[in-house]
Structure 1
Amino acid sequence: MGRKNKKGGGGGAKAAPPAASGDKEAQPVPTLSKSAKREVNELVTQLLEICSKTPASGAKELEDYPEIHGLVEKIRKLQSGLKPTETNREESFPALLEWLHKNGVDTSAVEINSFSGYGHGLKATKDIKETDLIVKIPRSVMMTVDSALKSPLGELMKEDKILQVMPNVTLAIHLLVELKSPDSFWKPYLDALPSSYSTPLYFSPEELQHLKGSPTLGNSITQYRSIARQYAYFYRLLQKHPSASKLHISENFTFDDYRWAVSTVMTRQNLIPKQDDPSKKTYGLIPLWDMCNHANGVYTTDFDTESNCSLCYAQEDVTAGNQIFMFYGPRSNGEFLVHNGFVYPENEHDRLCLKLGISKGDPLCEAKSEVLGKISLQASRSFYLHCGECPVDGELLAFLRVFSMDEDTLKSTYSGDVKKETLEKLMELENPVSPDNEGKLWAFLETRATLLLKAYPTTAQEDEVQLQQSNLPYSLLMALQLRVREKRILQQTTTFASRRKQMAKETAPTNGES
């Protein structure tokens, strides 16, 4: 899913002579002027420097964003003349299908179609039953980390540490190298990919403000910083490394190109068995399969190592002419927005990130951390509040119980060797440590959820009203959908915590009881 952004002009680019070739239609490859290239080099150095500094805190990272974004925008302006001529994506679909047919892919059960609210997806050409095989894609047409190693990028992969430990980044660079190679085997697939995406990497600072109050704002800015740092690192590497001259991207490696490649991988990557060791996994892009949109359900994709093919099965009955959906996984709407560029209001697996920690100033910090360690929980980490009637899972419940424990309970029940059954009960809702402990933990959670609700600049009701407006910008529409769902989780949490707090109060012994 994605949308096209408006394209800007300007920049200090000039056309370089076309490469020697027998192809009469070969177009000149634009390059930067010497002065523009000098400016970009200076800006990239500044960008790498600021992005490589570890932020003192989450707030500091937000403070750094304007400077990082400003440097990136200066680079983008200088590189704007290097943008290729935009083509009509839909015109590339017939060539993609023909290429797939030539490489042994049977597409008779599906066709590519445009769907309102979804963008492009797969439409059933015949009635399909649940568990029917829809499409079978051989490894030979996939772009994978394995195929990158066998490509001209392979030499650089063997020497660069980042490419060795970050397979998703490797796949992004592999994608760009093939995109810039006119004779690439994957050209029909590359031509059929979106030209831009609706992930927050494409948001303006003003659009990011729609996420204020949501943990997704911080996650989006962290991701932007990370991609800016990666771009600056690879820009310098491609300018200096001897192997880079063979890749055809060192002279026109733009931020927009890298952002596009990273977004393509983020929104489309899938784990598949490694070619030489099926017991291990690697990342891959699977043509046609990646056109399927998400819906609630179960995983219905498998990989057959004997035929060396990815198998996509139907997760439900589909009538001819209707859209075919697949299940992307149990992700939150915040994760869907950051990594896939959409929000799914019907998300059965939606959840809200909640960062908690035992204060080092707590005199019981060491004792509490020790108990948490016995149930494999860290003293400071992220937890989740879930949608539905019970927003608290076992891990969060156990943490809150330990967080709220008094010294006597810690020493008498949980110090030294503790029975496994005793520790496991910390994660069970109906096995409280004590009424007093329950009262404290639910009061804490109720207060925390209330404060998180107040961090949003609007109420859920105001968001609902705004959602009724027509022709909302897509970034605002997604932000509103996200905020409504997150606030619903927080409201459910406050209600749930308040009810459990009252239950604890009712079971607490009164004065005089022992």
Structure 2
Amino acid sequence: MRGHSHRAGRTARKRRQKHESSARSVSLCHQPQYVKLMKFLHHRGFSSTLLQPALFTDTGRGLQTLRTIKPGQLIISLPESCLLTTSTVLDSYLGRYIKSWKPRLSPLLALCIFLVCERHRGEASDWFPYIDVLPTVYTCPAYFSDDVMALLPASVRRRALEQREAVKEMHSSNQEFFRSLQPVLSQPTADVLTYEALRWAWCSVNTRTVFMSHPSSSFLSGPDNYALAPFLDLLNHRPDVQVKAGFNDVTSCYEIRSVSGTLRYQQAFINYGSHDNQRLLLEYGFVTTANPHSVVYVDTDLLCDVLRGDRSLTQKIKFLRENNFLHNLTVSSDGPSWRLMTALRLLSLPQTLYGVGLYMCVCFHSHQWKAVLLGQLVCEESEQWSVRMAKSLCQRLLQDTCSALDKVSHLLQQCEQPIREQLNVVKSLRQEERCILGSCLKALEESHRHTDSPLGAVS
């Protein structure tokens, strides 16, 4: 438990209550798209008297309560017939092409291809009422321009580039299979199964599927846990909300049950998981304010740059990497994480520990290593050095964040809407990180007055 958690929780609640009171909503249930969606779901056995689609000023589309939802109440029970899964794909006109193809396709690719082909069919598609309400573009990094990608923090930019390359690889490596689908398409496959179309489908699946385990199929490769859930996927995420969700084998429905309840005419939320804002951006294309799970990551390259004056740094970093001390180094509003301070304390140890007989030397000096790993002070000088380095890292990260925010502001003045939406997501991420880094630096200043209690002693 962090020392300031009670205060932070009370502040966060007040901020959220003020935010909720100022948020406005407009019902979408009378718009033709949503009328068709609800008719489509009604024919498949679903109706909702508790929730309606609405547009909220703070989050965009979501689901609004029509009545007060009590703690423990079932808010959605979506029949299996409404779920779009790989079984849907294999039972469709694409089934015979997928079943006969070698090597076998992944469940993710099968769903993506189905979405692209169904969107191409337009109103002739059985799933058109659902596809018609899906976003036409996303703010996931796979959509980011190079200019926007460059404004991400180094740790998330690397993973974002990997995400974009994964989608490109999925498109380029399956051209032969795409061409095999020509008999079911009214236009050339190259015009239908484009990179842009596959990217849209990939983001649709990645951001909107619920977890639902399926028996392994002899026609597909790899685990299959995907299910697209119309209407249900309009529920937005909030980190402090608790729900119980999953497929009920007895009712054959995907069910969501509220834990704490929601007042009438408020937005109903669910929780996608205990994700920090970088993870939310990568996986879902948004960030959330006052996220209690948010941290700022310290990249190994930055660590090396700040400590570049140490002549034995290369050897020390090699040892830390081999022993998994460089993974998940972070700072939060409460200060540097235990892992970061542990890495810095290990780096502060004398050069002799990293000599030729490295592992033998470590054995001889095991009392120092054990002290560091237990969060104990090795010596005051070492602790002061570690705190100074932590401050230097935070200052560098804060400088990078402020520079990125300046660039975002400049680009926002001259860009068009799709890029504007991407920039606003990056701006939100950077603003949250600026707050975290500022609070962390204050915590580090405080540590000078409490040297008997090692910083980062609690993970």
TM-score, with structure 2 as normaliser = 0.72
Question: Is 2:72 the counterpart of 1:131?
Answer: yes
Contact 2:405/2:427 (<8 A) preserved: no
1:25-45 deviation per Cα after TM superposition (whole angstroms, max 9, x unaligned)? xxxxxxxxxxxxxxxxxxxxx
Question: Relative to 1, partners in 2 of residues 1:208 and 1:462: Cα closer, same or farther, differing over 3 Å?
Answer: closer
1:406-427 deviation per Cα after TM superposition (whole angstroms, max 9, x unaligned)? 34598799539989xx86x756
Whichever residue aligns with residue 173 of structure 1, its letter is I
Question: Is 2:330 the counterpart of 1:384?
Answer: yes
1:323 alignment partner, one of 262, 267, 283: 267
CA shift at 1:89, angstroms? 11
2:210 alignment partner, one of 222, 246, 270: 270
CA shift at 1:120, angstroms? 1.5
CA shift at 1:134, angstroms? 0.3
Match of 1:291 in 2: 234
Contact 2:84/2:228 (<8 A) preserved: yes
Question: Is 2:62 the counterpart of 1:121?
Answer: yes
Contact 1:443/1:498 (<8 A) preserved: no
In structure 2, what is the Cα distance between the partners aligned to 1:438 and 1:342? 38
CA shift at 1:315, angstroms? 4.2
What secondary structure does 2:212 align onto?
strand
Contact 2:320/2:326 (<8 A) preserved: no
1:44-98 deviation per Cα after TM superposition (whole angstroms, max 9, x unaligned)? xxxxxxxxxxxxxxxxxxxxxxxxxxxxxxxxxxxxxxxxxxxx99422112112
Question: Is 2:314 the counterpart of 1:362?
Answer: yes
1:119-164 deviation per Cα after TM superposition (whole angstroms, max 9, x unaligned)? 2211111111122110111222212234334444444366455833
1:301 alignment partner, one of 220, 228, 245: 245
Provide the alpha-carbon RMSD of the alignment.
4.1
Unaligned runs of 5+ in 2: 1-28, 218-222, 305-311, 455-459
Question: Relative to 1, partners in 2 of residues 1:418 and 1:271: Cα closer, same or farther, differing over 3 Å?
Answer: farther
2:39 alignment partner, one of 76, 98, 102: 98
In structure 2, what is the Cα distance between the partners aligned to 1:126 and 1:237? 49
Question: Is 2:391 the counterpart of 1:446?
Answer: yes
Question: Relative to 1, partners in 2 of residues 1:418 and 1:428: Cα closer, same or farther, differing over 3 Å?
Answer: closer
Matches for 1:190-269 after TM superposition, within 5 Å: 190-208=131-149, 211=151, 215-235=155-175, 237-239=177-179, 242=180, 245-246=183-184, 250=189, 251-269=191-209
Matches for 1:453-492 after TM superposition, within 5 Å: 453-456=398-401, 458=403, 473-492=420-439
Question: Relative to 1, partners in 2 of residues 1:368 and 1:95: Cα closer, same or farther, differing over 3 Å?
Answer: closer
CA shift at 1:214, angstroms? 5.8
Question: Relative to 1, partners in 2 of residues 1:478 and 1:365: Cα closer, same or farther, differing over 3 Å?
Answer: closer
Contact 1:397/1:426 (<8 A) preserved: no
Identity in percent = 21
Contact 1:272/1:283 (<8 A) preserved: yes
What secondary structure does 2:77 align onto?
strand
Whichever residue aligns with residue 43 of structure 2, its letter is K
Question: Relative to 1, partners in 2 of residues 1:385 and 1:245: Cα closer, same or farther, differing over 3 Å?
Answer: farther
In structure 2, what is the Cα distance between the partners aligned to 1:274 and 1:160? 21
How many corresponding residue pairs? 398
Contact 2:277/2:291 (<8 A) preserved: yes
Matches for 1:494-509 after TM superposition, within 5 Å: 494-500=441-447, 503-504=450-451
1:333 alignment partner, one of 232, 254, 277: 277
Question: Relative to 1, partners in 2 of residues 1:260 and 1:408: Cα closer, same or farther, differing over 3 Å?
Answer: closer
Question: Relative to 1, partners in 2 of residues 1:143 and 1:399: Cα closer, same or farther, differing over 3 Å?
Answer: farther
Match of 2:128 in 1: 187
1:244-294 deviation per Cα after TM superposition (whole angstroms, max 9, x unaligned)? 6446672522233222112211221221121469xx761111111100111
What secondary structure does 2:239 align onto?
coil
Contact 1:460/1:488 (<8 A) preserved: no
Unaligned runs of 5+ in 1: 1-87, 508-514
